[in-house]
Structure 1
Amino acid sequence: MNDDELWAAIDTQRVRTADLLATLTPGDWTHRSLCDGWTVRDVAAHLTLQQMTLGGALRLALKYPGSLNRMIHAAGHGKAAQPTEHLIAEIRAMVGSRRHNLGVTPRETLIDIVVHGQDIAVPIGRSLPVPPEVAAAAATRVWDSRGTRLSKVFKPTPYDGHRLIADDADWSVGAGPEVRGPVLSLLLWMTGRTVVVPQLTGI
């Protein structure tokens, strides 16, 4: 996917995520998400930070030095105190903007909205569609980033040493014992969401 296609996909997922959030009940908002230690509200709040300014990032880095994950969690929990309507409006307001956080590319922004969208939808039994080609682009970036600082924001499963093959897209990576399934499920498994294991074969 080129940059235009990436940003179009990001915008589509932002709209779909905001639309889903607008239908949630108070109980849904406090439900545990697939992201360890985070509620649905926490994840939604985190998504509003996809365009954090340099100043905002520096202030958080000074407050929580030496730990990217600690900084991410603190920022998300802080935003979660805001009203529900405010969180939804902030996600919608990002549609059409191509700004992204310092130190990442649009591909990390795509991973963020796709994976965290499922963190919200799956545990409350809701559907949040992601086209296979979009999930494949995100999965490729996760694969290419293994072993780098970017991979440390997840608690990945031990997928290295396997050959991952999508059964709904022309996508495969790696070498070794085969793991097959929908590319979105493979993406979620790669990023530590083991709830999708029943959708995969070869594990």
Structure 2
Amino acid sequence: MKTETTDITDITEAIAAQRRELAGVLSALPAASWEAPTLCAGWRVREVVAHVTMPFRYSTTRFLRELLKSRGDFDRMADRCARRDGQASPDELVAGLRDNATFHWKPPGGGLPAALTHDVIHGLDITTPLDIPFQVPEERLRIVLETITGPKSLKHFGIDLTRVELRADDIDWSFGTGALLSGRAQDLALALCGRDLPSGRLRGASLISQPALGARRARDGVPLDHTEVG
């Protein structure tokens, strides 16, 4: 029987593995791919990597200082910092991820499952449009799916699952009842986070989203209360 400590250890190990695997993918990218668009609206690969590594590089004091510069608007701060920090070389950006594989970070109000979700979703933001084969292991996907099908996440991303059933066709997972929307589990996860997927990734019903909220949260990897700092 698993204990709470075991669960925490499992998630911590999953986070470290996710970061190392993504760092491996990034280290093999040709230079041109670092300028390629991602599923994060307006961000190239380099901006997404800079954003993913921001929690490793920013102290609480620096985070609050950057937030103050953006008048308390986290989305504005995240965009400004990603564009600035993303000017680093690909080697530096990869090192920031690889060297912090075991960095212990909990998003404000989210805990370790949210930290894993943040890394997984943003990794897929990069690999999906580049058509890079990057299969997230089932055990990680189940943690992510449980996190993003909660009411807080659905509200955050403006997703309405009323009368919609989500069903993965690569793992034994489904959620909700109604018209069927199916596809790979990791593609369903991206859709639940408001991402616009390449054509043909999902089949069946459409998710109903609130455009204004969905667009505003398009770069987020996990629902957080950005006014808090852990």
1:80-95 equivalences in 2 (<5 Å): 80-95=86-101
Secondary structure at 2:24's aligned position in 1?
A: helix
Aligned partner of 1:122 among 121, 128, 135: 128
Equivalent position SS for 1:99 = coil
What SS does the aligned partner of 1:146 have? helix
Question: What is the deviation of 1:54?
Answer: 1.2
Quote the residue 2:35 is aligned against.
Answer: 30
Compute the displacement of 1:196 (Å): 4.9
Aligned to 1:135: 141
* Matched residue SS, 1:201: strand
Q: Does 1:41 align with 2:69?
A: no
Q: TM-score, normalised by structure 2?
A: 0.78
Partners in 2 of 1:163 and 1:141 — Cα distance?
A: 17
Structure 1 position 160, deviation (Å): 4.6
Identical-residue share of aligned pairs (%): 28
9-18 or 100-109, which moves further after superposition?
100-109
Q: What is the SS of the residue equivalent to 1:198?
A: coil
RMSD: 2.1
Cα distance in 2 for residues equivalent to 1:197 and 1:191: 17
**1:10 counterpart residue number:** 15
Deviations 1:129-185 (A, max 9, x none): 20122122112111113355xx2xx5x554454221222223222232221222111
Residues 85-106 of structure 1 deviation map (CA, whole Å, 9 limit, x = unaligned):
1111110111122233444321
Question: Does the C-alpha gap of structure 1 residues 176 and 47 become closer, same or farther in structure 2, counting only changes over 3 Å?
Answer: same
Decide whether the 8 Å contact of 2:105 with 2:115 is kept in 1: no
The runs of 5 or more residues in structure 2 that have no matched partner are: 1-5, 206-230
Query: In the alignment, does 2:200 pair up with 1:193?
Result: no
Instruction: Measure the CA separation in 2 of the matches of 1:113 and 1:13.
Output: 7
Letter in 2 for 1:146: S
Q: Is the 8 A contact 1:136 1:184 kept in 2?
A: no
Distance change >3 Å, CA 83–CA 189, structure 1 → 2: same
How has the CA–CA distance of structure 1 residues 159 and 66 changed in structure 2, closer, same or farther, with 3 Å as cutoff?
A: farther
Is 1:146 aligned to residue 148 of structure 2? no
- Alignment counterpart, residue 65 of structure 1, candidates 64, 67, 71: 71
Asked if the contact 1:121/1:128 (under 8 Å) is kept, the reply is yes
Moved more, 13-22 or 62-71: 62-71
Alignment of 1:173-184 (within 5 A): 173-184=175-186
Runs of 4+ more than 6 Å apart: none
